[in-house]
DNA sequence: CGGAAATTTGAAATCGCTCAATGATAGTGG
DNA sequence: CCACTATCATTGAGCGATTTCAAATTTCCG
């Protein structure tokens, strides 16, 4: 788990809390906005999108989840789910009863601290994405998004080169970027023409990573808590989870 | 504190953690994006804006803070601050060393749980704001923002009528809405003309709250953890902070 | 191979931006 | 108390990015 030093124990921990695992096909809805909140999910395989639907009928994909992510956690402060969870690829999730998730705060303070820090990290990412959508052009947002996916993929699998398969349709991509599908198409073609990226079907190659970074203009965030200030408080304690 | 039942103890708790309090005038910078993260803040008086600056020179106000809010908490996962904190009015803050804040996770699990839930709530608010900015017109965003401020003010002071003073300049308002100052002006004039709101200098009256809600189109979120599932886990425990 | 879904392209309309100027307001020092 | 100045609010005109509507083409999957 990020931020707290007990790496591989996490999957084991979450699967031990999990009552069952479920599989979904691409485009399946895992949970609908407005549904009762009784559980959260641990994504073990595949990509999932979190979408917010507005009364006007428009939809925004506020987060693209990769394996290792918890799904649906923002909704634990609500009675009815804030977001719709949609499978972007075939996926496997582990279902965690909200009550079990909640109990971690009393039984495993260091796990709780890690979950808190992860929530703060998500806030920073959302702040950056809000700024990106509010203040940059479609092409800049696309560059920023591709880089974000690339950076995240590097942490979940071994990427030698900046090349990966992006399983989103252009409509889903448009939902992420906050533009229309038609414009997503034109924008991707335009970015392609700059020579910064190469598209071969769903396979994306980032030909000029630093060029893309300066285009995207997102501040580069180093999410490490090497900071001495909170490490000592968290590293000590006898409640090491099994 | 929200979500966990020990109301007024919170100010006492945070001021006990606080090493000092500071005052700022309107427009003062409390902390700059990129500064070292050594402390978080408790806002006891006035309004503060959290802004993200992009490399292109553009700025987005990602959050408007009211009294009772913690400031700067997203940055605890970073070495250098994610956001610039700006006083929107004369303010008073209590400075809390990040180490003291962090220690709460070991010493006061229920406070930790409350902080976690607050962070999740902020995620939901950011998700809604991202959707608002990405998918609605300037006038809809303005309606949504005014309602959000109104809803929050109701919880920190006694508002009999939907009328309040909005201390933001139009430039700051534009920073919030993700538009230019010029367009903020035109948009506010336009909203004024609909009869949904009334402007008298900085004083805003919401003449038709439900009309504004349907214009803004934001899902209405009920942030209460009446849910039986996590209450039991949190209410019990012997670590009641003094 | 056939049909549905996804991608691509075109043309016109709209929203918000930019540049530029004018008016109003508030704080300051004489 | 008033003149002075800086900041803030307002308005106009033209431009640009993105949307909308509509159709053509390609890809995917059974």
List chain A pLDDT tens, one digit each, 242 residues.
565 544 456 667 777 888 899 999 999 999 999 999 999 999 999 999 999 999 999 999 999 999 999 999 999 999 999 999 999 999 999 999 998 988 887 788 888 888 999 999 999 999 999 999 999 999 999 999 999 999 999 988 888 899 999 999 999 999 999 999 999 999 999 999 999 999 999 999 999 999 999 999 999 999 976 444 454 445 444 444 33
For the CA of A194 and the C1' of C19, the distance in angstroms is 29
Counting the structural domains of chain A, the total is 2
Residue A25 counted as domain residue = yes
Instruction: Give yes or no: residues A142 and A105 share one domain.
Output: no
Q: Which residue has the higher pLDDT, B89 or B13?
A: B89
Contact A230, B100 (CB under 8 A): no
Interface residue of A53, A134, A174, A214 to substitute, partner B, most B CBs within 10 Å:
A134
Instruction: Give yes or no: residues B113 and B151 share one domain.
Output: no
Q: What is the mean pLDDT of residues B107-133?
A: 93
Residue A104 counted as domain residue = yes
> Taking 50 as the threshold, does the pLDDT of residue B238 lie above it?
no
Asked whether strand C has any atom less than 7 Å from the CB of B139, the reply is yes
Residue B17 counted as domain residue = yes
pLDDT of the residue at B158:
85
Residue A101 counted as domain residue = yes
Q: What percent of chain B has pLDDT over 70?
A: 88
> Taking 70 as the threshold, does the pLDDT of residue B27 lie above it?
yes
Q: Which chain A residues are Cβ-neighbours of B33 within 8 angstroms?
A: 219
A55 burial via Cβ count (<10 Å: 0-12, 13-18, 19+): middle
Asked whether strand D has any atom less than 7 Å from the CB of A121, the reply is no
pLDDT of the residue at A227:
46
Q: What's the CA gap between B30 and A125, in Å, rounded? A: 22
Residue A227 counted as domain residue = no
Residue B21 counted as domain residue = yes
Q: What is the CATH number of the domain that holds B22?
A: 2.60.120.10
Query: What's this model's pTM, rounded to 2 decimal places?
Result: 0.93
For the CA of B180 and the C1' of C19, the distance in angstroms is 13
Instruction: Give yes or no: residues A23 and A66 share one domain.
Output: yes
Q: What's the CA gap between B69 and B45, in Å, rounded? A: 10
Instruction: Give yes or no: residues B112 and B200 share one domain.
Output: no
pLDDT of the residue at A60:
98
Instruction: Give yes or no: residues A20 and A76 share one domain.
Output: yes
Q: How confident is the model at residue B16 (pLDDT cuts 50, 70, 90)?
A: confident
pLDDT of the residue at A228:
47
CB–CB contact A82 B129 (8 Å): no
Helix (H) / strand (E) containing B153 = helix B138-156
| Strand nucleotide closest to residue A178 (CA to C1') | D18
3-state secondary structure A143-164: HHHHHHHHHHHHHHCCCCCCEE
In chain B, positions 44-63, which contact chain A (CB-CB < 8 Å)?
A: 50, 52-56, 58-60, 62-63
- The domain of B32 spans 8-117
């Amino acid at each position: 788990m990020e931020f707290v030093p007990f790496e591989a124990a996490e999957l084991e921990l979450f699967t031990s809390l999990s009552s069952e695992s479920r599989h979904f096909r691409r485009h399946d809805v895992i949970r609908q906005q407005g549904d009762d909140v009784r559980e959260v999910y641990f994504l073990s395989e595949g990509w999932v999108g979190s979408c917010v639907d507005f009364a006007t009928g428009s939809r925004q994909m506020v987060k693209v989840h990769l394996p290792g992510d918890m799904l649906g956690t923002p909704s634990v402060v609500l009675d009815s789910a804030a977001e719709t969870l949609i499978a972007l690829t075939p996926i496997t999730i582990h279902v965690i009863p909200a009550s079990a998730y909640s109990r971690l705060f009393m039984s495993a303070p260091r796990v709780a601290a890690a979950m808190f820090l992860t929530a703060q990290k998500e806030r920073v990412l959302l702040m950056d994405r809000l700024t990106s959508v509010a203040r940059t052009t479609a092409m800049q947002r696309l560059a920023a998004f591709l880089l974000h996916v690339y950076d995240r993929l590097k942490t979940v699998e071994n990427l030698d080169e900046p090349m990966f398969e992006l399983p989103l349709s252009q409509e889903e991509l448009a939902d992420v970027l906050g533009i229309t599908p038609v414009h997503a198409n034109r924008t991707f073609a335009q970015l392609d023409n700059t020579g910064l990226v190469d598209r071969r079907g769903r396979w994306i190659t980032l030909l000029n990573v630093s060029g893309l970074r300066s285009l995207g203009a997102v501040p580069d965030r180093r999410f490490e808590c090497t900071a001495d200030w909170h490490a000592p408080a968290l590293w000590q304690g006898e409640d090491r989870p099994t």
